[in-house]
Amino acid sequence: MSRSPGKPKVAFIGTGGTIASLGRGPLDLQDYTAAGSMMHADEILEKWPETALVANVMPIRFKAVPSPAIGFADWKELAALCARLERDHPDLAGIVIGHGTATLEETAYFLNLTLKVLVPVVLVGSQRPSSALSSDAGMNLVNAIRVAACPESRGLGVLVLLNDEIHAAREVTKTSTLRLQTFRTPDFGALGHADGDAIAYYRRPVRRHAPDTEFDIAGLEALPRVDISYSYAGGDGTAARAFVAAGARGIVAAGFAPGMTPPDEFAALTEAVKQGVTVLQCTRAGSGRTFRGTRLRQAGLLIADNLNPQKARLLLALALTRTQDPEEILRMFREY
């Protein structure tokens, strides 16, 4: 791809997902993975040449997989790749990571806690494959590149761009299986918008984020095992006991709002604490803070603030790489 003088340089890392997928026809909106056709970063840019109108984009091949296949090993490699790109390209304005939407919020938040780069990093996906009629892939990608190249994006931590909305990695979550407006920030809303004439910001994240974090994953071979126990009426704690037996060092209890579990599950979680497992009370509500009342304190359970279960799991796992002190872990959940 030819370079245009005066345009910002943006790296585009492809990991796969719907944005990289080609279905069996323009109306294949849901079963496209059966076609088995997924593009790498350079092929995506060829599919959407409009990206060259807004920046000089460097394609970086990484993977071409559905996002349920992505985990810690990939996150560690992505963090190292971002650091290498910033080091090797002093004129780099930003980095865009194409990603499937299923685990996009988890990758974004993990990188938000571990990246050590100064340039903006923006995760982008799509709800419809690049081959679909009215696909959102091309416009999302163009806007993500614009956001990554925008000087005002610096200092905001890792960002997520879909459907013209810019969200903070800590707060955004996928809320709908098929709708284009699936990525939302409960309680607080988007940071800003990628409009046709401008990248417009209206608020900033206040919690600690990349690159100003205390977590170092460079020497880690794996994260400590942290599991999620999902509460439901009549739950008896079987899952929590199984997680302890499997060697879990932490359990996130995705409880009833505002932070409760069935009696038998609570007993199992309390017993887990006595066995040295860190247990974090979260909620399945998708919005709002948890409260560490007398009952939780006496049982030794910690709280997840307003993080959803899947993000609380990531922060707890990283916290456990540094400490098992409950007060220190609570501090981290207050700060991040």
Q: How far apart are alpha carbons 206 and 305 in whole angstroms?
A: 14
Predicted pLDDT of residue 86: 98
- Pick the catalytic residue from 18, 51, 114, 290: 18
* Token pair 């999620």 in the structure block, residue: 228
What confidence category does residue 39 fall into, taking pLDDT thresholds of 50, 70 and 90?
A: very high
Predicted pLDDT of residue 3: 63
Q: How far apart are alpha carbons 262 and 171 in whole angstroms?
A: 27
Q: What is the mean pLDDT of residues 46-69?
A: 97
When the pLDDT of each residue in the chain is averaged and rounded to a whole number, the result is 96
For residue 50, give every residue at least 6 positions away whose Cβ sits within 8 Å of its Cβ, in sequence order, or none.
138, 142
Active site residue 18: yes
| Domain ranges across the chain | 9-201, 226-335
Q: What is the mean pLDDT of residues 50-67?
A: 97
Structural fold of domain 226-335: Rossmann fold (3.40.50)
22 sits in which H/E element: strand 21-22
N-to-C CA span, the chain: 40
CATH value of 9-201 in 3.40.50.1170, 3.20.20.210, 3.90.1150.60, 3.40.50.150: 3.40.50.1170
